[in-house]
Amino acid sequence: MTAPEPALTKVKPVEAAHLLDVADTPLAVEGRPSCWLVGTHGGAGVTTLARTFAPFAEAGQVIPAANDPATVVLVAATHLEGLCSVHRAITQFRANQAGEAQLLGVILVDTAPPVKNRKLAKALSSKRSVIEGATNVWSIPYIPEWRAVETSALPEWSPHDEQEAEGKKKRTKVDATAAVPPAVAEIGNEVHTAAVDHFRQLHP
């Protein structure tokens, strides 16, 4: 996983109407999260992921620039509005419009089954490719079981959880309402590890 790129000064700034708010005072949080999840649009899935991944904190649609760490992972759904909004948010960071916050990457959340229309799928794939070329990207698959579970009842992943052997993961079907699916837990582990490594680079 590559380290976040420093903001580029020559990037065209994002118009004010499309900017995410940037906090000038620390956001309240319990403990010290490894990173902050910031949604780039309503319904991105930030609350769900913050509940699912224990080390991460939820910042809504606000960039926590005054917190330490101020490591941000943007969250967006994989429909066109989500992809466009997260692309603008990436540009906001690269154009130095995010205060002292630093972008670690993006989590894209599939909130519906895969698109079958080829023309529409191609348009979404093209936009997604642009995002993947700009920063780290992790993908959360569509999990239909979570639609029938209240957020407070969702299973939780923690770095301290004992992980099953890789072969067993592939053979065993996990009840997504009782435990975080292995593929999702793996993403949580990758993001957490990247965030911790990034923090250590900033504070050697």
pLDDT value of residue 1 = 52
Q: Which residue has the tokens 């975080």?
A: 180
Structure tokens at 11: 């990037």
CA dist 68 and 26 (Å) reads 8
The beta strands (E) that lie in 92-160 are given as 102-109, 137-140
pLDDT value of residue 114 = 81
Domain boundaries, the chain: 16-202
Which pLDDT tens digit goes with each residue over 104-151? Answer: 999 999 988 887 888 878 889 999 999 999 999 999 999 999 999 999
Instruction: Give me the chain's average pLDDT, please.
Output: 90
CA dist 68 and 56 (Å) reads 13
User: What does DSSP say about strands 71-77 and 137-140: parallel, antiparallel, or unpaired?
Assistant: unpaired
Residue 70 neighbours by CB under 8 Å, 6+ apart: 36, 63, 64, 99, 100, 101, 102
Confidence of residue 166 (pLDDT cuts 50, 70, 90): very low
Q: 38 and 75 in contact (C-beta within 8 Å)?
A: yes
